[in-house]
Every structure is written in structure tokens, then in C-alpha cells.
Chain A
Amino acid sequence: MEGALTAVSAPALRGSRCPRCEVAVYPADPACPNCGGPAAPVRLSGTGTLWTWTVQRYAPKSPPYETPEDGFRPFVVGYVELPEGLRILAVLDGVRPEGVRIGMRVTLAAGAGVPHARPAGVTV
């Protein structure tokens, strides 16, 4: 079912959504944090807008931070607002700090670790 789709686009984030109060959450949670009722799995949209952001200018404490082999470089982190009505914490790739704007359109994908986003229209 999903093989054909994921072959052509980045893997979608898997969240959950409460059928009663329509609250969507990430990562998936069997219970709704708003009403406590049961929530169902949902594949979240892969495109949204940047709600807020900052730059991590210094190397975080290690552990838990795993410094890249070629050394620490400042990176952008932010919350991406999705049409499902939630904001997801993600590392923002493919843009320099000077180019980041609240409201910019970004794509968002699941990977091995935390969600990663990049400006919409920029290919990997």
C-alpha cells in the first residue's frame, strides 16, 4: 500500500488524531492529550509553514548531543505548522540563518531521527 507512495516522496510523519475533538498530535499517542479518549493513527501532511525558529549557535552538551564527525556547525531549528492544526519541532536544513522567515513554506519529512524540514521547492 505505502511502498509506491514513499518511493516517490519523502516519508510522511506518523501522528495520531482524536475523532472526538479533532486534535492531531506527533508522535502518535493512543490517548488524546485534550480529552483522554482514544486516538487513531494518521499520516501527517508533508508541507507546512514555519511558525517560529532559532539558530543553535553553540555545540549542545555531549552526551546526549552526538557531534558530527566533521565537527559542530550552527543549525536552524523551528516549529512547522501543518494543516492538521499542530506545530512540529524540526531541524531546518537547506537554508542559512539569514534566509529564514516566519511564515515561509517548508516540506517536512520523517527520517531515522527527529523530523527534518527544508524550504519548499528546494530539492535534496
Chain B
Amino acid sequence: MSGAGAADVLVCGVGITPFGRSEATGLDLAAQAVRTALADAGVPWPRVRAAFGGSDAAGNADTLVTRLGLTGIPFVNVRNGCATGGSALVSAVNAIRSGAADVALAVGFDKHPRGAFDPRPADWGLDEAYGAEGLMVTTQFFAMKIQRYMHDHGITARTLALVAEKAYANGARSPHAWRREPLDADAILASGMVNDPLTRYMFCSPGQGAVALVLCARSVARELPAADPVALRAAVVRSRRFGSFEVFSPWAPGGIPTSVSADAAGAAFEEAGIGPDDIDVCQLQDTESGAEVMHLAECGFCEHGEQERLIAAGATAIGGALPVNTDGGCIANGEPIGASGLRQVHEIVQQLRGRAGDHQVPGGPRTGFTHVYGAPGVSACTVLTR
């Protein structure tokens, strides 16, 4: 696909629900997000020619047709773990690029119970002993990955706290965020060790929320005088290669781990024809503070170890040289698995439109990047331009 062809997919409408807890079901939230996105684009539901969507734990997206209208379009359910939203988006993009549809919908939503995700050893092909002895705990993996990274690259615990401090500061300025109280680095460091070196307030929590995007071929844009489109230059999903270090692994290969995030980011930049140095604002997976630190380098925005200086200097804050997770990211919004990746795209679209309100990056950003990473070693990235 040539760069010009890739640029011919436009995000014409976006919709997001509040990410804080409420009584609404996942499907309620999804329907609300879709209606908001359709209204934002100025597109009536019957004009949509194909739809792709999913959740990890809150129902089948295709049942939304009973609420939106039985127009007979293909509506494909996507269930792809943390890449659910990204995979729905790639499918919608491909439907437009192939000519199968000129208006397509991507929707992601979820609603998880309180507390940690609750995996079972058998679902992961592991002996029951890993559960019985307390090793089926996702937070252990994140802690062990950043522990080694800190050792290799000179990252301090204070830097981890500064990442979370920024997330809560940005969340306080984002109307849809779940955590809207600022919290300083000292309080974050003192919030109780969960898995060394990560403390309680360095983690995101399972939550709820929904996001929908209306995508159009460029030829459709003239039908939509009210729309404020942003070009989707690349959308890529990758799975892990041999040598990666992933959650719930009884063993891992030696050597420097391979990175599915680096693979996905590299492919997205190649597809877009621009590089990390060209990006004005970005969204990186921040399941916990350490993830944002590592993903800055894995996605190509700095060298390994440079984060220690960059983060202390405020480079990743709104107003810094490379603002990261300007809506508070997963740490402030929680992580409804199916919705998270599309929340990132929503935020970049609003930033490039100049419509991000209190958390708007100054200076009129023109390029953005999003990155999701999750179990079992999947990553989805996008590049967007104005």
C-alpha cells in the first residue's frame, strides 16, 4: 500500500464515554459512544457500510445493531485481548482501502469487575502449581520487567513516580478520565509497595468505558461539511516473535528480549512514511509507570536510559517536547481492555483538531502516534496527521 493510499483513510467522527464506574452496561456504553461518533462526523447510521468491534468481557459488539438500526451491514466481532480495539480499527481501515466500504465503524468497549484481572493457569497452558503458589499475578511480570530495565539502563524509582504524577495531573484536566485528583510523586512512592519497585498508585485498574470511530474514504469527505477529519496514515497490529519476555511465562529465552512494540511501531512508521522524530504528541501503553518508560524507547522516541533525564525535565508533560498520554493514559482512565486502544486514537484526533480542551497541547500539533501493548505479546500502533 503506498503512502498516498494509506492517507486516504480519514477519521471523521469520534465518540467516547466517561471511563469512571457507573451502572451502565458495556453495550450501553458502546451504543452511546457510537451515537456520539456518528453525530461528530455528521453521518447517519444507515450510511455506515461495515462495522468492526469488540470487548474482552462485556458482550458481542454485533448485537449493537438492535439499538442502532437493522441496516443489514456486515458487523464483525473482534476479540483480540489488549489489541481488540486496534484489530477492529485495522479491519475497518482495510475495508476502506479495499473498496469494500467507504464509511466504516470501529468500536471498542469493556466493563471489568473491581480488582485485578483473574487468570486461570489452564487457560494459559500452565501447570496448576503456578496458580497455587501465587505466580499467576500480572503485576509481578510488570515489576520484574521494569526491575531489570532499571538495572540495565539507570532508571530510578523517582522516575516511575513522576510518570504517575503526570498521569494524574493530565487526568485532572480530562473530563472523561476516571482518576481526576492530582497526586504528587512523594505520595505515589509512599502509597504502598505492590510488587517491588512498583507501588499502588503506579498501576492502572481494570475499569469501564467505550470509544467509537467513524472512518471514511477521502471521496466521502465532501459529503460531510460538518466533519473535522484527521488522516489515519497507518494502523498496524503485530504479535510477538521468538525471544520476547511476556506475562505468565515459566521460562524466557536468554539474550536481549525482542519487542513486539518495537516491531509494531516500526511497521507503523514505515507505513506512514514519517518517523518518531516527526511526532508532536503520543499515547503509549501505561499499564503501570514502568511500561510508559520502556515504551518511550521501544517505540523509538528516545534511547534506552534517556528517559531518566527526559522525564525529570518535563519533556513528556503537556507543553514538553514530546507530550505523552495527555488524557492521563491508562493510569488515570483505567483499562477497559476493549476500549483502551481506541481511547488513545480518540485523544490524538482531538489533539490534532485542537479540541482537547484543558489538556490541549499548545502550538497546534499536526502529527500523533498511539501504542497499545498487552498479553500475550500483542501490540497495535497508529500514526495520525492533520
Contact = CB atoms under 8 A, between A and B. Distances in A.
A52 interface: yes
Given A54-B147, A60-B136, A85 B131 contact: no
Nearest to A100: B196
Contacts of B129: 112-114
B145 A85 contact: no
Interface stretch (B60-68, B162-170, B226-234, B246-254): B246-254
A30 B131 CA distance: 24
5 contacts: A26-B251, A52-B148, A60-B134, A77-B140, A102-B148
A91 B194 contact: no
Contact of A86 (B143, B151, B251): B251
Interface in A72-87: 75, 77-79, 81, 85-87
B196 A97 contact: yes
A106 interface: no
Contact of B253 (A58, A63, A64, A85): A85
Contact of A89 (B120, B135, B143): B135
Interface of B: 115-116, 118, 120-121, 127-137, 140, 143-145, 147-148, 151, 192-198, 242, 249-255
A75 B134 contact: yes
Given A56-B137, A57-B196, A66-B132, 16 more contacts: A15-B251, A52-B144, A53-B144, A53-B196, A55-B196, A60-B134, A60-B137, A61-B116, A64-B120, A64-B132, A77-B140, A85-B254, A86-B251, A86-B252, A88-B251, A114-B135
A65 B132 CA distance: 4
A23 B193 contact: no
Contacts of A57: 192-196
Most chain B CB neighbours (cut-off 10 Å) among A51, A75, A78, A97: A51
A18 to B, nearest CB: 11
B194 A58 contact: yes
Contacts of B198: 54
Nearest to B119: A64
A86 B254 CA distance: 5
A53 B147 CA distance: 7
Contacts of A34: 242
Contacts of B135: 77, 89, 91, 114
A78 B148 CA distance: 10
A69 B259 CA distance: 41
Most buried by B among A51, A81, A91, A114: A114
A86 B140 CA distance: 19
Nearest to A32: B242
B252 A64 contact: no
Nearest to A75: B134
B136 A56 contact: no
A113 B134 CA distance: 11
A30 to B, nearest CB: 14
A94 interface: no
A12 to B, nearest CB: 15
Contacts of A97: 196
Contacts of A102: 147-148, 151
